Amino acid sequence: MKGFKKIFVKGLKYSLILVLLIKSYFEVGNIIYDNGINKKTITEMNPQTKIEVKTVSASTYDFHYYVSGKVNAPLLIFVHPAFADHRVFNAQVDFFSENYRVITVDLIGHGLSQPTKSNDKIDRSAYYMNAMIENEGYKTANFIGISIGSLVIQQFQDLYPEKVASMTVIGGYDIHEFNDSINQKQNKTKFAVLIRAIFSMKAFRRHAASLATYSKEGETQFYCSASRYTRKSFPVMSGLTVIHESKASADPQAPLLLMIGEHDLDLAKTLTREWHEKNKKSHFVEVSKAGHCINLDQPDKFNQTLLNFLTNIEKDK
């Protein structure tokens, strides 16, 4: 018994030393990374357009969204990827606000939409987005979603098909085709990201940013926009199960633009191409020199591609 106790204490001692070494490794990396950030890039991230911060009341907390652009013009709603927030779309706010009404959101658990004393998960975001649209006096909107944002806008279309004028999906997949095989492949990537969160949230954000982008400027912007994502935010992601169980609407689907970055994960590129092949009416664009978040790596190409898509929709009406 004494021998076992001695081995246990020794093992615990070495485990604590290992944890401290790993934590120290991440913290040193964080300092080096933060010191290497181009302050000019952060300054240039800030939009020049006037933005109004608004909320939808969700009993114990507020769902935050951000409004800018031309009053009564066609509405664009941009929905961010996991871990980031509305700030990843600053370049799009400036570009589109001249001729469109623009809304960016903070999904539940992200940015300022923190579900304090609430059991709300990320799947509830679609319902608050509907209230948001009604608050703004619109009947329809054009939805643009990146990664998890693209899953949320698909759920929204299932719930409120009559309110979707068009959908643009970046680095996403068809939620109605989600299966165990896709889930297992995604889990391999998730583990490398989440293990860092145990020791350091900054290290977690750094790694998430490096996976989401191809350019250094894009990586910096993603990293900064993920600053409000904390360990308390992780439980909301369980709502993805509800999103994957969403039933497709029988209504005609809205015009669909599928975009993928040249340097996105192979799984993401494969799923996007398969979706395009199944949906013959969809439009498919692969953007060179871009990763998962095309809008951050190649903002000009992204903006022009989206604008062309929206313009063609208007012409076809």
| CATH number of domain containing 209 | 3.40.50.1820
Q: Which of 287, 274, 286, 281 lies closest to 255, judged by CA?
A: 281
CA gap 95, 35 in Å, rounded: 30
Split at pLDDT 50, 70, 90, the class of 59 is confident
pLDDT in tens, 103-146: 999 999 999 999 988 999 999 999 999 999 999 999 999 999 99
**Per-residue model confidence (pLDDT) at position 184:** 72
**Per-residue model confidence (pLDDT) at position 315:** 80
Q: Which of 160, 83, 85, 176 lies closest to 126, judged by CA?
A: 160
Model's pTM, two decimal places? 0.90
**Would 7 be classed as within a structural domain?**
no
CA gap 248, 175 in Å, rounded: 9
Split at pLDDT 50, 70, 90, the class of 13 is low
Most confident option among 27-31, 59-63, 128-132, 184-188: 128-132
Split at pLDDT 50, 70, 90, the class of 253 is confident
**Per-residue model confidence (pLDDT) at position 18:** 65
**Would 254 be classed as within a structural domain?**
yes
The residues that bridge with 146 in the sheet, in sequence order, are 170
State both tokens at 179: 């299966």
**Number of domains making up the chain:** 1
| Domain ranges, residue 53 | 27-316
**Would 4 be classed as within a structural domain?**
no
CB burial of residue 40 (10 Å; 0-12, 13-18, 19+): exposed
**Would 143 be classed as within a structural domain?**
yes
Split at pLDDT 50, 70, 90, the class of 251 is confident
| Least confident stretch, 98-102, 189-193, 278-282 | 189-193
**Would 78 be classed as within a structural domain?**
yes
User: What percent of the chain is predicted at pLDDT more than 90?
Assistant: 70
**Per-residue model confidence (pLDDT) at position 236:** 95
**Per-residue model confidence (pLDDT) at position 28:** 66
**Would 6 be classed as within a structural domain?**
no
**Would 163 be classed as within a structural domain?**
yes
Split at pLDDT 50, 70, 90, the class of 86 is very high
Question: Does the structure show a pLDDT above 90 at 15?
Answer: no
- b/e sequence 193-230, b meaning 16+ C-beta within 10 Å: beebbebbbbbbbbbbbbbbbbbebbbbbbbbbbebbe
Sheet hosting strand 256-261, strand order edge to edge: 52-58, 61-69, 101-105, 75-79, 141-146, 164-170, 256-261, 283-287
